[in-house]
């Protein structure tokens, strides 16, 4: 039996977080002391571990609620239901990753085109790319008038 602070410390969460989980129905302490303190049982702790593990895997609290309601009533659910939750999440995640990879490619292309040196940004190819209408990125080699030996290592035949 743990009080909120003990449970919080044991699992490295804030007491606020546990109260939040209580309020939102994810984890209600199985009893209260006479004075109203939350008292968490070992089962409650187990449930918290479930929540934290699911969170670490990338589930939202809403997903976790769903998984917990299945968990509490396993025999009335099928594997297909559980796998469905996971697979939807997986598809979301793949879409998100694809999007971020697209951003990354764009940024990488911008970064590569810029010398990154102490030259004035007047001809900075990053700014020019953001100003222009085209998606082509011009390298700075042509616009900066100085010895390019230090700054061109990143910018080779792009665009």
Partner DNA sequence: CTTGACCTTAGATTCAACTCCAAGGTTATA
Partner DNA sequence: TATAACCTTGGAGTTGAATCTAAGGTCAAG
Task: Please report the sign of the dihedral spanned by the C-alpha atoms of residue 151, residue 152, residue 154, residue 159.
Answer: positive
| Helix (H/G/I), strand (E/B), else coil: 31 | strand
Q: How far apart are CA 63 and CA 66, in angstroms?
A: 5
Q: Which two tokens stand for residue 20?
A: 């939040």
User: Exposed e or buried b for every residue in 125-146, given b needs 16+ CB within 10 A?
Assistant: bbebbeeeeeeebbbbeeebee
Q: How far apart are CA 43 and CA 68, in angstroms?
A: 13
Interacting span for a second copy (CB under 8 A) from 1-9, 10-18, 19-27, 42-50: 42-50
Query: Does 140 sit near a second copy (CB under 8 A)?
Result: yes
Q: Which does 35 bind (CB under 5 to 8 A by kind): DNA, a second copy, none?
A: DNA
Among the listed residues 35, 75, 156, 157, the single contact to a second copy using CB under 8 A: 75
Return phi, psi of residue 83, to 5°: -60, -30
Nearer to DNA, 19 or 138 (CB): 19
How many residues belong to the site for a second copy (CB under 8 A)? 58
Report the interface residues with DNA, using CB under 7 A: 3-6, 8, 13-17, 19-20, 33-38, 55, 60-62
Report the interface residues with a second copy, using CB under 8 A: 46, 49-50, 53-54, 56-58, 67, 70-71, 74-84, 86-87, 89-90, 93-94, 96-97, 100-101, 103-104, 106-108, 110-111, 114-122, 124, 126-127, 129-131, 133, 140, 144, 151
């Amino acid at each position: 039996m743990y009080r909120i602070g003990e449970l919080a410390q044991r699992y490295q969460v804030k007491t606020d977080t546990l109260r939040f989980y209580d309020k939102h129905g994810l984890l209600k302490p199985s009893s209260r002391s006479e004075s109203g303190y939350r008292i968490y049982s070992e089962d409650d702790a187990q449930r918290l571990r479930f929540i934290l593990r699911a969170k670490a895997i990338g589930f939202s609290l809403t997903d976790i609620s769903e998984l917990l309601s299945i968990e509490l009533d396993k025999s009335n659910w099928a594997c297909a239901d559980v796998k469905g939750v996971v697979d939807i999440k997986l598809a979301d995640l793949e879409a998100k990753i694809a999007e971020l990879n697209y951003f990354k490619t764009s940024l990488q292309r911008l970064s590569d085109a810029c010398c990154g040196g102490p030259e004035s940004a007047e001809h900075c190819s990053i700014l020019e790319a953001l100003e222009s209408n085209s998606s082509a990125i011009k390298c700075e080699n042509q616009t900066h008038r100085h010895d390019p030996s230090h700054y061109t290592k990143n910018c080779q035949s792009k665009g």
